Structure 1
Amino acid sequence: MEPQSDMRGRWVGHNFERQTRIVRAAIELLESAPSVDVPIQDIANRAGLSKSVVYRQFDGRDDLDRRIRAQIADDLLDTLIAALDFSHGSVSTIARRTIQAIGDWAEGHQRLYGFLRSGPSSDSKVSAIGTLKDEVAVKISGVVNSIAAMIGMDPAPFASLPYALVTMVEGTLTRWVQDPAPKRTRDEIINDLALYVGYLIDGGARTMGVDLDQDEELMSVIARLAAGDRSEP
């Protein structure tokens, strides 16, 4: 006889696979359906399951919607992390490609972006986009703290900067995406934001007594500062 623990583990895995199919089906429909209010029956049909199975997998429609937002947020976060790679590129390059990635995703998935902003992704009352911004800011803070430790400097002047940057970029891009007749092109708005991000980073660096060349490779900047050279190359 199969141990109960193995049976439970298999059942949990089976349910997880079904939940993933349902959430992915819902996301596909959100991209193409005429309304974000996609019926459960349509989601079930897309997932190749019965409506009753969908209802058994989630604690109501709100629970399903939270799971959908959580998956959308994870997909966007993967895009951001790939662009926000501090191992190569200058500060200017990293900032620009990350903003470009967000802009491309938001413009290419406007329905999903709107749904992401429509409610929470967990039992908390914090919006899914708010949770995502917190996660990105924490990741940036971790990198800043690591760099500060490598070069022997106090990261305190940058403590508020990650969330300020994330909020500015997300809010500005959201307004641009939602504007039916934007006055700035996508390239222009990305250039604007990259410039503003540069100003904020430069200001933080100067409070630490560092002259930062934003076009210098970041790894070279770190090596130079770690060697005690605080001047701009």
Structure 2
Amino acid sequence: MCVGKSGSVTGYAARWATHNVERRTAIVQAAVELLEESPAGTELSVRAVAERAGVAKSVLYRQFGGKDELERRMRSHIVDELGALLTSKLDLSTGSVRSIISRTVQVLADWMIEHPRWDEFLRGGPTFDGDESLDAVSELKLRMARRSEAILASIADALDVDPQAFEPVPYAVVTMVEATMSTWIRQDAPERPRSRIVSDLTDLTVYILDGAARSVGVVADPDEEFTAVLQSVAKSSE
């Protein structure tokens, strides 16, 4: 291959790789948007996705091995977006334990209500890079449980208490919240409003965390600013 003054073979390959990544991203985004607009239970049309993305169907198939790969990448995209949103609400630098939990549960409730087609789609299969035995919702729950586990472990370390007391908490809480919200959303006429569901799940999570903390001698006010709680508990243990 001849290489002109405009750049090397390596540079050309890098630009082409970047172009392909951008094209795949645009196609996935178009597919996700189209999915949300489609009626519940309808099949996603590859032709419709290609038209929405502004590419030929043959181009779409060059970027993806088939519809299965496209759908896996769509699930990866949705899981990444929702995971990032939930993680942002788990920011411990602002708010009390109760408010941190409440805003995280709230954003999940809002997401599930506002994006029913995405929620339904995630339950239909794995992501692109995920465990083949897990659907995308299960992968997301595992991801959030691990994130919460890391947070609790760092808190236990800061307070110099046994982290094992908190080990069962993350997955139990994540599973409880997701299952409760999923059941509530699928009711034809829910008796409890969204605010009550969020409040109840927040209270239950606080009770669980409080019980785990008390088992290692930590008693704290869940309504006090969390950073202040940490400072107070750490000072009292000196």
Q: Aligning the two structures, in what range does the TM-score lie when normalised by the shorter sequence?
A: over 0.9
- Equivalent of 2:136, from 128, 132, 138? 128
Match for residue 196 of structure 2?
188
Number of paired residues?
230
Q: In the alignment, residue 230 of structure 2 is paired with which amino acid?
A: I
The DSSP-based 3-state class of the residue aligned with 2:124 is: coil
The residue matched to 1:80 in structure 2 has which SS? helix
The yes-or-no answer on 1:100 pairing with 2:106 is: yes
Q: Does 1:44 align with 2:50?
A: yes
Report the equivalent of 1:159.
167
| Cα separation, 2, equivalents of 1:135 and 1:177 | 22
Please name the residue that 1:26 is paired with. 31
- Pairwise CA distance, 1:125: 2.3
Secondary structure of 1:227's aligned partner: helix
Q: CA deviation at 1:157?
A: 0.3
8 Å CA contact 2:220–2:233 kept in 1: the answer is no
- Contact 1:36–1:115 (Cα < 8 Å) also in 2: no
1: distance between equivalents of 2:55 and 2:42? 20
**Structure 1 contact 36–111 (Cα < 8 Å) conserved:** no
- In the alignment, structure 1 segments of 5+ residues that lack a partner are none
The aligned residue for residue 77 of structure 2 is: 71
C-alpha offsets along residues 116-162 of structure 1, whole Å, 9 cap, x if unaligned?
11110035221111111111111111111111111111211001111
* 1:36-69 Cα deviation digits (max 9, x unpaired): 4121111001101000011111111111100000
Could you tell me whether the CA contact under 8 Å between 1:25 and 1:47 is conserved in 2? yes
SS in 1 for 2:91: coil
SS in structure 1 of the partner of residue 236 of structure 2: coil
What corresponds to 1:83 in structure 2?
89
- Cα offsets for 1:164-203 (capped at 9, x unmatched): 1111101111111122221211111111111110110111
Counterpart position of 2:225: 217
Check the 8 A contact 1:91/1:218 in 2, yes or no. Answer: yes
Instruction: State the alpha-carbon separation in 1 of the partners of residues 42 and 89 from structure 2.
Output: 29
Amino acid at match of 2:99: T
Cα root mean square deviation, aligned: 1.4
TM-score, with structure 2 as normaliser: 0.93
Q: Deviations over 1:62-93 (max 9, x none)?
A: 11100000101111112111211111111111
Preserved contact between residue 96 and residue 225 of structure 2 (Cα < 8 Å): yes
Report the residue type matching 1:80 in the other structure.
L
Aligned to 1:204: 212
Measure the CA separation in 2 of the matches of 1:219 and 1:144: 14
